[in-house]
Structure 1
Amino acid sequence: MGYDENRAAKPFAVTPYHLLRLLWRSYQRWQRRRETRTILAKLSDAQLKDIGMRRDEWKI
């Protein structure tokens, strides 16, 4: 068994690919949240109540 076969993987190795993927996923998450807030803002208080929410729960 050679040295490379028995060596542990680097648990915190950050490559440019991983960094870009993390940034892309963060952007997508932000975009989905923004879209959700836009949709919720268009709902009336009665509609929000129907889905079990209040305006002060999601508005920041």
Structure 2
Amino acid sequence: MEFHENRAAKPFSWGLIKAIFIIPYHHWQRQRMRACTRKILSQLSDAQLKDIGLTCHDVRHYK
């Protein structure tokens, strides 16, 4: 029997782990960051928004 035939099989592939855990976590993390940003921007006044180059309309339609 050859060496490669006698080895134990790999228990998992990183692609599967990435698809199940890492990619959904990064998606959730991006959504939370957008929600926090939207909340902070909605609390700013019109003058403060103008200072950073945004309008109230921009904040309402931020996705």
Instruction: Determine if the alignment matches structure 1 residue 46 to structure 2 residue 11.
Output: no
Gaps of 5+ in 2: 1-14
When Rg is computed on C-alpha atoms for both structures, the one with the higher figure is: 2
Gaps of 5+ in 1: 1-13
Q: TM-score scaled to structure 2, two decimals?
A: 0.67
Deviation string, structure 1 residues 14-54 (Cα, Å, up to 9, x no partner): 41x11210000000000000000000010001100010001
**Percent identity at matched positions?**
37
Q: TM-score scaled to structure 1, two decimals?
A: 0.70
Larger relative CO (CA 8 A, sep 6+): 1 or 2?
2
The question of whether the paired residues in 1 share the 8 Å contact of 2:42 and 2:59 is answered with no
Structure 1 residue runs of 4 or more that deviate by more than 6 Å after TM superposition: none
Q: How many residues align?
A: 47
